[in-house]
């Protein structure tokens, strides 16, 4: 399909090829990124992009839904099965919109929500001050313990008792430790709040059974579909039966119009892929790789928030190295190692030039990299940090990265084992 594009739009074709080369010729460590399978890619670029399907299967506002209804029902059934949820809504365009739909399903504008602050690892839509989530709702933010870098559940409970939020949000975008969703559920019950859990980063780990699931402990669970879950870019909501109708009405017509059927189609494929023994092996390797990378970075004297990782991501606090996060991320990018700069708990630097960088292993694990490659990646990171102003060493590291990348399968050839096309 992509080859045909060369004839119709050579400029865009060439740019896609460049991006493909960038993705295959670099070590991609942004923890929210991955490589989807060829099957997901194909479904995502299929004719389903041509179809409007406002409403839900069996109750649409446009005709011609003979096939879309079957696809959406399949995606919903697969989501319910792998997350063990009563109800799934697969229409959210993204995690941000899914979160807003979750709040809108349960509370009214002006009510109080309570989430982890962005600077402590939360998400914009968990009530951060520049997000609409803090404009529509009164936002109270909790933090991690500044000493341990970990969530302090008794502090969260105290804050909830004091502020009486209508919704307590669990979940994070930059928290390297396992989250105790039962503890959040208990706090919500004790304080009369709803519990909304955002598992965008860890949903693949949850499905694989290597992170506890919030599904039994939350009123609504929100997730993106493209991070550890390794599907197309999108969002999804899971909930108990009692909230099903409210959730569906909140997504459509509450905050969205027509669903993106090509994304839902690709999601259905990804959900089937996630329901395999191969996916469990993959998710376990993500965690093993992150742990090994963290251990190796610690041995080079890097400070890691919370001292390590239990999941797919690592947050390096660079203050002891006196290197700003942005400077290191940019130098690493020149050496073909792609990360993002990130605030760390207690950071006095701005979010645009913070004191940390965030790394994760979902994408490199999809390429088949294992612990030995994590040792090499840690060496590369250390070499760049130690030679942050030495362009020839950075360039030389980039060549070594390219060599490493050439030994591991690139995304266009990534096919789920046993399902070769
Ligand atoms: N932007 C995502 C991330 O990188 O974690 C969160 O939405």
Q: Tens-digit pLDDT profile for the chain (421 aa)?
A: 677 888 999 999 999 988 988 999 999 999 999 999 989 999 999 999 999 999 999 999 999 999 999 999 999 999 999 999 999 999 999 999 999 999 999 999 999 999 999 999 999 999 999 999 999 999 999 999 999 999 999 999 999 999 999 999 999 999 999 999 999 999 999 999 999 999 999 999 999 999 999 999 999 999 999 999 999 999 999 999 999 999 999 999 999 999 999 999 999 999 999 999 999 999 999 999 999 999 999 999 999 999 999 999 999 999 999 999 999 999 999 999 999 999 999 999 988 899 999 999 999 999 999 999 999 999 999 999 999 999 999 999 999 999 999 999 765 545 444 444 3
pLDDT computed for residue 235 by the predictor: 98
Given phi > 0 = left and psi -120 to 50 = alpha, else beta, which region is 58?
left
Distance CA 408, CA 282 (A): 15
User: Does the reported pTM lie above 0.85?
Assistant: yes
What's phi and psi for 373, nearest 5 deg?
-70, -30
Distance CA 248, CA 413 (A): 37
Ligand 1 lined by 260 (C-beta under 6 Å): no
The question of whether 241 is a catalytic residue gets the answer no
Nearest-5° Cα angle at 185, 238 to 91: 15
Fold for 282-406, please state it.
3.90.1150
Q: Which atom of ligand 1 is nearest to the CA of 173?
A: 5
Q: At what angle do helices 68-83 and 261-274 cross, to 10 degrees?
A: 40
Ligand 1 lined by 173 (C-beta under 6 Å): yes
The closest residue, in CA terms, to atom 2 on ligand 1 is 32
Smallest CA-to-CA distance from 220 within 197, 201, 190, 202 is with 197
CA of 139 to the centre of ligand 1 (A): 20
Fold for 42-274, please state it.
3.40.640
The closest residue, in CA terms, to atom 5 on ligand 1 is 173
Residue to mutate, 96, 122, 200, 329, ligand 1, most ligand atoms under 8 Å from C-beta? 200
Distance CA 209, CA 403 (A): 34
What is the domain partition of the chain in residue ranges?
Answer: 42-274, 282-406
In this chain, the answer to whether the domains covering 42-274 and 282-406 adopt an identical fold is no
């Amino acid at each position: 399909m992509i080859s045909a594009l060369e004839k119709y739009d050579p400029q865009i074709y060439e740019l896609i090829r460049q991006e493909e080369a960038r993705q295959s010729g670099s070590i991609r460590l942004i923890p929210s990124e991955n490589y989807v399978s060829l099957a997901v890619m194909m479904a995502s670029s299929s004719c389903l992009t041509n179809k409007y399907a406002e409403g839900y299967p069996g109750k649409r506002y446009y005709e011609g839904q003979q096939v879309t209804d079957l696809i959406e029902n399949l995606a919903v059934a697969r989501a319910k099965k792998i997350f063990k949820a009563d109800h799934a809504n697969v229409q959210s365009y993204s995690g941000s919109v899914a979160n807003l739909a979750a709040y809108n399903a349960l509370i009214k504008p002006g009510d109080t929500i309570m989430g982890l602050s962005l600077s402590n690892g939360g998400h914009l839509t968990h009530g951060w001050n520049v997000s609409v989530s803090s404009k529509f709702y009164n936002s109270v933010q909790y933090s991690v313990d500044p000493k341990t870098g970990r969530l302090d559940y008794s502090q969260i409970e105290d804050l909830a008792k004091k502020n009486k939020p209508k919704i307590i949000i669990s979940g994070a975008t930059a928290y390297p430790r396992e989250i105790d969703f039962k503890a959040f559920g208990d706090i919500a019950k004790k304080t009369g709040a709803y519990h909304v859990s955002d598992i965008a980063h860890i949903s693949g780990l949850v499905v694989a059974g290597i992170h506890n699931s919030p599904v039994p402990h939350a009123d609504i669970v929100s997730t993106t579909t493209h991070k550890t879950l390794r599907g197309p870019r999108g969002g999804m909501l899971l909930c108990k039966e009692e909230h099903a109708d409210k959730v569906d009405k909140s997504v459509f017509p509450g905050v969205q119009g027509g669903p993106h059927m090509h994304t839902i189609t690709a999601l259905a494929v990804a959900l089937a892929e996630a329901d395999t023994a191969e996916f469990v092996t993959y998710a376990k390797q993500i965690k093993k790789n992150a742990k090994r990378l963290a251990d190796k970075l610690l041995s080079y004297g890097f400070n890691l928030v919370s001292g390590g990782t239990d999941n797919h991501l690592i947050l390096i606090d660079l203050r002891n190295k006196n290197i700003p996060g942005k400077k290191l991320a940019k130098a690493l990018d020149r050496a073909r190692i792609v990360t993002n700069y990130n605030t760390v708990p207690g950071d006095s630097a701005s979010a645009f030039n913070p004191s940390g960088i965030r790394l994760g292993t979902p994408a490199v694990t999809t390429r088949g990299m294992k612990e030995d490659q994590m040792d090499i990646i840690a060496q590369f990171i250390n070499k760049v940090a130690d030679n942050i102003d030495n362009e020839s060493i950075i360039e030389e590291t980039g060549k070594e990265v390219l060599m490493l990348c050439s030994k591991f399968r690139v995304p266009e050839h990534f096919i789920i084992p046993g399902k070769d096309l």
